[in-house]
Amino acid sequence: MVDLSSLRPFEGAVKNRKRVGRGPGSGHGKTACKGQKGQKSRAGVSIPAGFQGGQMPLYRKLPKRGFKNHFRKEYGVFNVSSLDRIEHDGPVDIEVLRAKGLVSKRYSLAKVLGDGEIHKAVNLKVHAASSSAVKKIEAAGGTVEIVPVHQASADKGETV
């Protein structure tokens, strides 16, 4: 009968570990496979990634490129068509949108885009909206209120 305790690897599947620095009889004694002298043969060696032996490393020779705007505002975007699926009485703000899964939790700002159709009246409070989205929501009998962006970042605890 075969059970877990009787299982063994196939013949030749497992090799013995190389035990270095265990005397001349092992064949890996004396310098323990590290060669003669040099930085890599010393104890406690740690060479950082990109180190080129004191030569100016390539990542420092190359010019820096691009620009990172630290004041960029990232919006969680969703379409008008997804508002039809929301069953909610009252104004739909970013908290409701997060709870319904339309906007990811990583975004503190929300923007509605005009893709698709909407067939019910929705009172929407977002930080940005495309003009086509506003037209479609108002045509369905709803309203779009644009919340100022600085108010959203103040709610999150950021300084503007």
Domain residues for the domain of 85 are: 75-156
140 has pLDDT over 90 = yes
Least Cα distance to 53 among 37, 43, 40, 44 occurs for 40
Answer for the pair 128, 85: CB distance below 8 angstroms, yes or no: no
Position 41 in a domain: no
Q: How far apart are CA 108 and CA 159, in angstroms?
A: 14
CATH number of the domain to which 79 belongs: 3.100.10.10
Q: How many domains does the chain have?
A: 1
Position 125 in a domain: yes
Position 93 in a domain: yes
Query: Quick one: three-class SS letters along 71-108?
Result: CCCCEEEEEHHHHHHCCCCCCECHHHHHHCCCCCCCCC
Position 47 in a domain: no
Position 85 in a domain: yes
Position 122 in a domain: yes
Q: How far apart are CA 133 and CA 113, in angstroms?
A: 5
149 has pLDDT over 90 = no
Position 148 in a domain: yes
116 has pLDDT over 80 = yes
101 has pLDDT over 70 = yes
